[in-house]
Structure 1
């Protein structure tokens, strides 16, 4: 089909958290508007491999293409998961699950969206974080983490997200950032990008967190210029559970999370609405959804 005859959209959602019983019917109700729609899933599908496979398999059967970036919850090794893999081995296992389902991952060749608003390179990323988004007065990652423990605001990753074989999640992050930047440098420079990452690429979206100290688990300073450096048309992310549209340096950033039931029940809008990434909606407000 030619671009002129293509009527699909590039859609996105994240933080499905299907381990929560009330989120499963929302995921079961997600459907494309046309047979040509693609779906970007920006991480935190579930905590167990079985639940991740169920949700992504369901979506892959419905959408023309599904693109997945992992979140921190998929990387947790929880007592209730029959898959006991940790760290890199767990991530690689999830990649293989996605490949069996026909879902694209950060380790696969990037696809080109050639529908309305395209062509663009759709680049799912897996970058983690490195505690570089620190609170004032904390000059080192160690100081920031100590302050988090002192205040009781500590991400569950500290217990459940094992970086094996890396000595730390920060070291794993550094490797992922370096390899991903290399691939982005080698992409077709004639095409803009849609960058999809569970964590935001810039720190600004975290400024409205109820507990700002949590930002240290939300990204890395190493990606602060990536939306400009890699010619992003749109940056898609989740993790913060604050769905909204914002703009940085003229680039649209879309936080597309569903979140936990206690969160989406309080928003006053129907949960599970897919965000249209391309073609760009008219009059997108730089406010919370």
Structure 2
């Protein structure tokens, strides 16, 4: 059994959804796919993804990204309610949302949000970052949202497992971003992730951690942990995204 990783499919773009629907119906039927967030803010499009992928993979694990929790188009309910709606939808499809044990391996999702531990946002981000307009956090600030999600991370007992893999949507540490990252993009750092996720990774003793959100494909070892981002990204992002579902481990 193989473990595959994908994130940030953004199927609001029809070509991305068509790509998922074009995946082989026979090559992955004994495999596991981890989806590290950002399918769509439209529930019908999330269902379309689940319809496509649940028939192709033996098991799926999904945790939501920031786009999945937007509520502006539905016009009702909070983003916390949207999170619960997605959890229920996954349950209905038989898609995992909690820790997944497969033989001697354990895969653990880590929920989160950004909390400005990577820096304070400047005026451009405060004006233009879409989450500020499209999410409804019932008046809570990002650090409070991050704390609330982190409180949901009931980390499992890892005794007896040879390997622990963890996954988040958000970036767990800022030094995963390239040192020569363009200055114009560094304004995004405050909304990329949180140090809380890294603390959870270390508490788990993960050997590999998978993440998304940044749309920048990475495979980097830091302090003994291999961090992998395999974001599909927007159609135009052909230089920073590999446009594939990545085989990351054998289970």
**Superposition RMSD on alpha carbons, in Å?**
2.2
Cα gap change, 1:74 to 1:187, in 2 (>3 Å):
same
Q: How does 1:182-221 map to 2 (within 5 A)?
A: 183-184=154-155, 186-191=156-161, 192-207=163-178, 209-210=181-182, 211-221=185-195
- Unmatched 5+ residue regions in structure 2? none
Asked if residue 27 in structure 1 is aligned to residue 20 in structure 2, the reply is: yes
Conserved? CA contact 1:154–1:214, under 8 Å? no
For residue 52 of structure 2, the aligned residue among 36, 42, 58 is: 58
Within 1, Cα distance between the matches of 2:34 and 2:50?
11
Deviates more, 1:152-161 or 1:227-236: 152-161
Cα gap change, 1:46 to 1:235, in 2 (>3 Å):
same
Q: In the alignment, what sits opposite 1:126?
A: 111
Residues 213-246 of structure 1: CA deviation (Å, up to 9, x unaligned): 2111111122334333211121011111111211
For residue 245 of structure 2, the aligned residue among 253, 274, 282 is: 274
Conserved? CA contact 2:217–2:240, under 8 Å? no
For residue 48 of structure 1, the aligned residue among 42, 46, 56 is: 42
Residues 145-179 of structure 1: CA deviation (Å, up to 9, x unaligned): 3xx22577742111112213x62232121122233
What SS does the corresponding residue of 2:76 show, helix, strand or coil? coil
Within 2, Cα distance between the matches of 1:216 and 1:251?
23
Q: How does 1:222-241 map to 2 (within 5 A)?
A: 222-241=196-215
Conserved? CA contact 1:153–1:214, under 8 Å? no
* Shift of residue 199, structure 1, vs aligned partner: 0.7
* Shift of residue 94, structure 1, vs aligned partner: 0.9
Within 2, Cα distance between the matches of 1:188 and 1:152?
40
Within 1, Cα distance between the matches of 2:89 and 2:203?
32
What SS does the corresponding residue of 1:74 show, helix, strand or coil? helix
Cα gap change, 1:30 to 1:126, in 2 (>3 Å):
farther
- Unmatched 5+ residue regions in structure 1? 1-7, 135-143, 281-289
Cα gap change, 1:152 to 1:230, in 2 (>3 Å):
closer
TM-score norm. by structure 1 comes to 0.78
* Shift of residue 267, structure 1, vs aligned partner: 5.6
TM-score norm. by structure 2 comes to 0.89
* Shift of residue 259, structure 1, vs aligned partner: 0.1
Asked if residue 112 in structure 1 is aligned to residue 105 in structure 2, the reply is: no
* Shift of residue 95, structure 1, vs aligned partner: 0.7
Q: In the alignment, what sits opposite 1:175?
A: 148
Residues 182-221 of structure 1: CA deviation (Å, up to 9, x unaligned): x21x423332321111112222123555321211111112
Cα gap change, 1:150 to 1:55, in 2 (>3 Å):
closer
* Shift of residue 99, structure 1, vs aligned partner: 0.8
What SS does the corresponding residue of 1:193 show, helix, strand or coil? strand
* Shift of residue 35, structure 1, vs aligned partner: 2.3
Q: In the alignment, what sits opposite 2:130?
A: 156
What SS does the corresponding residue of 2:90 show, helix, strand or coil? helix
What SS does the corresponding residue of 2:160 show, helix, strand or coil? coil
What SS does the corresponding residue of 1:263 show, helix, strand or coil? coil
